[in-house]
Amino acid sequence: MSGASPRTSPVPSRLVDEDLERRRFRVHRSSMTNQQVFKTERERIFGHSWLYVGHESEVRNPGDYVRRPVGGRPVFMARGAKSGKIGVFHNSCTHRGAAVCRKDSGNAQTFQCFYHAWTFDTEGNLVGVPDRGAYGGGLDMSELGLARPPRVDSYRGFVFLSYDPEIMDLPAYLAGAKEYIDLVVDGASGAVEILKGTHEYGMEANWKLLVENSIDGYHALAVHATYFQYLAALGTSLEGGITGVGRSLGNGHAVVEGDAPWGRPIANWEPSFGEDARGEIERIRAGLVDRHGEEQAYRMANTSRNLLIYPNLIINDIMAVTVRTFMPVAPGRTEITAWQLAPENEMPLLRERRLDNFLTFLGPGGFATPDDLEALESCQTGFDSGGVEWNDVSRGMARSPKDTDEEQMRAFWRRWAEQMHGDRDEHEEAL
């Protein structure tokens, strides 16, 4: 007996099936396994969205830079030594293509291509060419600066790029997600920074499974039971459990928001922080109330939120603030990077607690991440077995959505389907 594998089997004309009358929402499993779907995503999703590059605090001083792949392409971000402005550049020499930025981060006055020693300043200008006279008068250095992505912009210190010159402006693209970025930044008194050090790891599963998992409240108590037992052992009150809501924020963005039963070093003191931190936390809380009012201060300090900025940026504002991106390198392989965001000039004791939370729950070896990855890789293995064609994402369609429902996931899938299938006539052979 023989048959096509899930990776090569025919792909239906529509990968997302929504039937409002039957209150049914399904996603075809070939969206997680098919090589052509993966290739089309790279062009239609990552080539036509705003993608997170980094945070302005990572390049605080003139000449500071960070390099990383964004949307599967090598770029770097630098603060110009002369202008003080942040620029984002393709990491490719305009001579013959080799990388010009060869370290992940640092401070430099120039970037020199190791292949033929063409040299560029931190503004992206070509400033040095060995034996320039060999070109006679035919080398116009002003035309040979580093290439920039067509669109670069920032919101509250978060820098984004897009490879689509016609994309809508960033504020319009962020839509309702702006409110939640504001909660994160204003909750840290308006001044935040990315701390040094990253988590870099991978999973043998499709990237969209991590999107779902990051805004899924349904799995938390079952998958992360050990962590909640750990919190209870520390004296953290879990009375009332976790309650919240899932929301679509427009343009594929989504959030789950709810009460936070765990200790958060923002402005919500609990005994596990120790008496030494009580006065500082109460002072921070009073400042939030003065600036934003009691209701908004409560949201910042006493609620948590997992925010998806479509397609692949997650801001987890829970027991710590984690900024996480991920990129598919194959239908069943995803590379993940995460950073810790924190208030500037934070009290050392609170910073220590924040970093401990970053590692203890959200780190690659913490309570949550290994459990999540095991679950997602198990799903991917299940897809490869075949037999079942569709995933069900219908939970909550018959009621106002809770954080344990799937409206926030449906928001992602609707935008994904729109981008993947929006130009069927023009790209009829793509899928």
DSSP calls for 81-137:
TTT--EEEEESS-TTT---S--SSEEE-SEEE-TTT--EEETTS-EEE-TTGGGGTT
How many angstroms separate the CA atoms of 392 and 24, rounded?
A: 8
Tens-place pLDDT, residues 116-174: 999 999 999 999 999 999 998 889 999 999 999 999 999 999 999 999 999 999 999 99
More confident residue, 228 or 242: 228
- Residue 388, pLDDT above cutoff 60: yes
Q: What is the pLDDT of residue 360?
A: 82
The total number of residues shown for the chain amounts to 431
How many angstroms separate the CA atoms of 81 and 399, rounded?
A: 55
Q: How confident is the model over 91-114, as a mean pLDDT?
A: 97
Cα angle at 270 between 57 and 363, to 5 degrees? 45
Q: How confident is the model over 315-323, as a mean pLDDT?
A: 90
What CA–CA distances, in Å, run from 282 to 84, 89, 199, 276? 37, 43, 31, 11
How many angstroms separate the CA atoms of 126 and 106, rounded?
A: 20
User: Is residue 245 within 8 Å of 257, Cβ to Cβ?
Assistant: yes
pLDDT band at 276 (very low <50, low <70, confident <90, very high): confident
- Residue 271, pLDDT above cutoff 90: no
User: Is residue 309 within 8 Å of 320, Cβ to Cβ?
Assistant: no
- Residue 261, pLDDT above cutoff 90: no
Q: What is the pLDDT of residue 306?
A: 94
- Residue 5, pLDDT above cutoff 80: no
Return the structure tokens found at 72.
Answer: 């599967």
What CA–CA distances, in Å, run from 55 to 58, 59, 79, 158, 333? 6, 8, 12, 5, 26
Ramachandran class of 357: left when φ > 0, alpha when ψ lies in -120 to 50, beta otherwise: alpha
Residues with Cβ within 8 Å of residue 150, at least 6 apart in sequence: 162, 163, 164, 165
Q: How confident is the model over 67-72, as a mean pLDDT?
A: 97
The distance from CA 381 to its chain's CA centroid, rounded to whole angstroms, is 25
Q: What is the pLDDT of residue 400?
A: 87
CB atoms within 10 A of CB 217: 21
User: Is residue 153 within 8 Å of 169, Cβ to Cβ?
Assistant: yes
- Residue 3, pLDDT above cutoff 50: no
How many angstroms separate the CA atoms of 205 and 157, rounded?
A: 31
Residues facing 308 on adjacent strands: 254, 314
Return the structure tokens found at 386.
Answer: 């075949």
How many angstroms separate the CA atoms of 115 and 95, rounded?
A: 9
Q: Is the pTM of this model over 0.85?
A: yes
CATH superfamily of the 176-420 domain: Naphthalene 1,2-dioxygenase Alpha Subunit; Chain A, domain 1 (3.90.380.10)
Longest pairwise C-alpha distance within the chain? 78
Q: What is the mean pLDDT of the chain?
A: 89
User: Is residue 251 within 8 Å of 175, Cβ to Cβ?
Assistant: yes
pLDDT band at 229 (very low <50, low <70, confident <90, very high): low
Strand-by-strand arrangement of the 64-70 sheet: 86-90, 73-79, 64-70, 105-107
- Using DSSP, state whether 234 is helix, strand or coil: helix
Q: Where are the domains of the chain?
A: 51-162, 176-420
More confident residue, 183 or 260: 183
Tens-place pLDDT, residues 163-210: 999 999 999 999 999 999 999 999 888 899 999 999 999 999 999 999
Q: How confident is the model over 49-63, as a mean pLDDT?
A: 98
| Fold (topology level) of 51-162 | Rieske Iron-sulfur Protein (2.102.10)
Ramachandran class of 123: left when φ > 0, alpha when ψ lies in -120 to 50, beta otherwise: alpha
Residues with Cβ within 8 Å of residue 268, at least 6 apart in sequence: 260, 281, 285, 301, 302
- Residue 53, pLDDT above cutoff 60: yes
The distance from CA 393 to its chain's CA centroid, rounded to whole angstroms, is 22
